[in-house]
Amino acid sequence: MHLNAVPIQERPETVAFAWPVTGKLHRDLRVDGYLAEKVADREVFELVQDSIGWRVTDDQWHVVSKEVVSNSMVAIFHAGSPVAIACGLSRPSDWTELAWVAVAPAHRGMGIGKMVCGAVVAGLLEDGRSKIYGSTQDERLSAIKIYLDIGFYPLYRKEKVERWESICQKLGIPFSPSSWRWQPDA
Ligand SMILES: CC(C)(COP(=O)(O)OP(=O)(O)OC[C@H]1O[C@@H](n2cnc3c(N)ncnc32)[C@H](O)[C@@H]1OP(=O)(O)O)[C@@H](O)C(=O)NCCC(=O)NCCS
């Protein structure tokens, strides 16, 4: 299946991105003083989501624990406390959605978002799960920057081309559909 045919339920307010078929993580994303660890417990998940103002309900945790790809949840610890989290959620046809990406406000802008997303993707690739996608709102520029920097491609969606142009302009990066293998006429 072509990358742009990723069968996701995309919301009108989001743009989507996916991992290229032969994608590799671009570089070592570790940050000094921060430790990545696989986790599976609600407490760590909740602590980080809470720090960004997301109160995790019982229903949400129930869905996460049901959908999370085994061994894919990663937390970043600093001085023994969790400060970032992300995970992969199981989707149809062996797709995995990179989701619940969160970095505590005091630890932003230092590469921790890239570190946690990179660790989740690396783990998924090691486990043979290379069909990975995600989506986020256009205005979440730091999140979009992370996904593009670590190697995801924007997905072609006819109605969102201009929005990607605008996002690239705001991020100061080239708008390069051909390198993302967009096939508008396909
Ligand atoms: C999005 C989020 C995870 C980013 O975490 P972070 O640790 O600050 O991210 P990083 O430091 O790894 O990278 C952010 C990048 O965006 C860039 N950036 C930040 N704000 C930006 C802006 N307004 N315009 C352009 N680039 C911006 C940073 O310079 C950095 O890029 P660089 O490494 O080239 O300098 C964090 O802000 C967060 O938890 N937000 C709330 C939840 C959320 O939005 N989750 C993701 C989408 S659902």
Ligand 1 atom nearest to CA at 99:
48
Q: Spell out the per-residue pLDDT of the chain, length 186, in tens.
A: 566 777 777 899 999 999 998 888 877 899 999 999 999 999 999 999 999 999 999 999 999 999 999 999 999 999 999 999 999 999 998 999 999 999 999 999 999 999 999 999 999 999 999 999 999 999 999 999 999 999 999 999 999 999 999 999 999 999 999 999 898 765
Q: Which CATH architecture has domain 3-171?
A: 3-Layer(aba) Sandwich (3.40)
Pocket of ligand 1, candidates 120, 142, 169: which has the most ligand atoms within 8 Å of its Cβ, to mutate? 142
Q: Which residues have C-beta atoms less than 6 Å from ligand 1?
A: 52, 101-103, 108-114, 136, 140-143, 145-146, 171
Distance of alpha carbon 41 from alpha carbon 27, whole angstroms: 29
- Please give the single-letter amino acid code of residue 164: W
Maximum Cα interatomic distance, the chain, rounded to a whole number of Å: 51
Distance of alpha carbon 116 from alpha carbon 55, whole angstroms: 20
State pTM to two decimals: 0.96
**Domain limits of the chain?**
3-171
